[in-house]
Amino acid sequence: MANLSGKTALVTGGNRGIGRAATIALARAGAAVIATGRDAAAGAETERLAAAVGGVALFASHNVTREEDWIRVVDFALSRFGGLDIVVNNAGAFLLKGTAETSEADWDAIFDINATGTWLGVKHGMAAIAKTGRGGAIVNVSSLMGLVGYPQNAAYCASKGAVTGMTKSAALEGAAYDPPIRVNSLHPGVIWTEMITSQFGDDKALSDHFASETPLKIIGLPEYMADAIVFLASDESSYVTGAALTVDGGRGAD
């Protein structure tokens, strides 16, 4: 298992789903984690779950679309733990609407969270990691739909595609630091989280349907994404940057 002892990580959207699973996995691997979000009660539960595996996680209120919030939470990480080594830009929003039905307000809202929020995380995360001086890693959670198209999802696909391209550009910039800052994107397929269940419902028949459409015939779980995030954040991936890692049970291969 990766050893992240002595590292500090910041995970956006750390209150549920992939973000919570990533927070727990990073804490289990030894990192001190700042888990950010808007729900303090859910943040307290994330802290409790990290402590239950012997890790350390602290919740920080955070709106990823606001630059002043990014400055505040990064400063908190630096002051509380003395540095920042890992940033996981996970906070995101989903929109199931056709192109004709998507309003300008819909478009702007999706891009504010998925694209602008990630860009701000790269901007301020990279500066803080460089200031810490140990090198580090940034993981941007995109989507399989940041690589392929999908009907009724133009705004979401476009916003996640922006994350994919942004990651490659940032990886080239991060490689110029000494020590380098690696930047990679993670591309989940269908993952059984509130982002899915809030749109389509939460029942076994639906889960079985998604599993049947996946080549591996299993439903994606947040823990699978967390394992990939720990890998991309750790020295085990020290020669990996600018990559778009699909973790989708094979859905993108057909």
Please tell me the predicted confidence (pLDDT) of residue 2: 92
Tens digits of residue pLDDT in 159-203: 999 999 999 999 999 999 999 999 999 999 988 887 777 767 778
Q: Is 224 a catalytic residue?
A: no
In the chain, what is the straight-line distance between the N-terminal and C-terminal CA atoms, in Å? 31
Output the CA angle 71-75-80, nearest 5 degrees. 155
What pLDDT shows up at residue 191? 87
Closest CA to 31 of 62, 60, 57, 67: 57
For residues 11 and 21, what is the distance between their CA atoms, to the nearest angstrom? Answer: 10
pLDDT at 128 over 90: yes
The answer to whether residue 211 is domain-embedded is no
Residue 245 in any domain: the answer is: yes
pTM (predicted TM-score)? 0.96
Residue 73 lies in a domain: yes
CA distances from 27 to 32, 137, 191 (A): 6, 16, 21
Instruction: Judge contact between 128 and 74, C-beta under 8 A.
Output: yes
Q: Answer yes or no: is 74 within a domain.
A: yes
In a domain, residue 3? The reply is no
Q: Is residue 230 part of a domain?
A: yes
Range of the domain at 13: 8-191+221-253
For the chain, how many structural domains are there in total? 1
Q: Is residue 1 part of a domain?
A: no
The CATH code of the domain that includes 53 is 3.40.50.720
Exactly one of 150, 156, 177, 239 is catalytic; which is it? 156
Q: Per residue in 43-82, pLDDT tens? A: 999 999 999 999 999 999 999 999 999 999 999 999 999 9
Give the relative orientation of helices 17-28 and 40-52 as an angle to the nearest 10 degrees: 30
Greatest pairwise CA separation for the chain in angstroms: 51
